[in-house]
Amino acid sequence: MARERATDTTALVAAAAEAFRSKGYRNATIDDIAEAAGISRPTVYKYTRSKQQLLDLMVEQVTADLAARLKEVLESGEPAPVRLRAVIRAHIDAAVAHRTFYAIIFSEEVEISDEARALFQKWAHRRNHEFQSLLDECLAAQRKPPPIDTHVAANLVLSMLTTVYRWYEPGGPVTPEQLTEQITLLLKGLFPPRR
């Protein structure tokens, strides 16, 4: 049983995540979701059409949250290296905040609707482009920039940040700040200081 009764779509999505995590998307039923939400089966349909819609809403929540975090950082007007560090931290914080959603979305990717998948891919492409532009800014500040393909680098770094949810333990020995520092140190090796 859920700790609190779901009284809106957001709470139902969280309960669905609980059911999907414990039983898997395909094995979880609407009854399982209702039980996790502390509501009746008919009440589930008050908030959603299907369990696929709940999965799609997880994608929407994750992308909306991360997009808002990144927008704030990218529009801050801070120097590129400061924004790069903040972007890394935003990814880590989002992965920690939505760890269960990330795990479900990436393990159940084939179950996401075609429409939600297309929106997610468009969203991810935009994030890759923004990150590549930020890397380009960092390199442009170098007198003799290393020959880095920022398209490849952006994809590699974002892939790494996307999978933080798989291994990072919130409350473990490494804080989000320490993890951000380690990733920043790794990237500083790619962007030597200006001489």
Q: In the prediction, which pLDDT does 147 show?
A: 85
Distances (CA, A) of 168 to 22, 64, 113, 158: 20, 22, 28, 15
- Kindly state the average pLDDT of the residues 38-51: 93
Q: Which CATH superfamily is domain 51-188 in?
A: Tetracycline Repressor, domain 2 (1.10.357.10)
Distance CA 79, CA 17 (A): 38
Return the DSSP state at 164: H
For the chain, the distance separating the N- and C-terminal CA atoms, rounded to the nearest angstrom, is 61
Domain chopping of the chain, boundaries: 9-47, 51-188
User: What would the pLDDT profile of 103-153 be if each residue is shown by its tens digit?
Assistant: 999 999 999 999 999 999 999 999 999 999 999 999 888 888 778 899 999
pLDDT the model gives residue 2? 38
Name the pTM for this structure.
Answer: 0.88
Q: Which superfamily is assigned to 9-47 in CATH?
A: Homeodomain-like (1.10.10.60)
Check if 9-47 and 51-188 are the same fold.
no
As a whole number, the mean pLDDT across the chain is 91
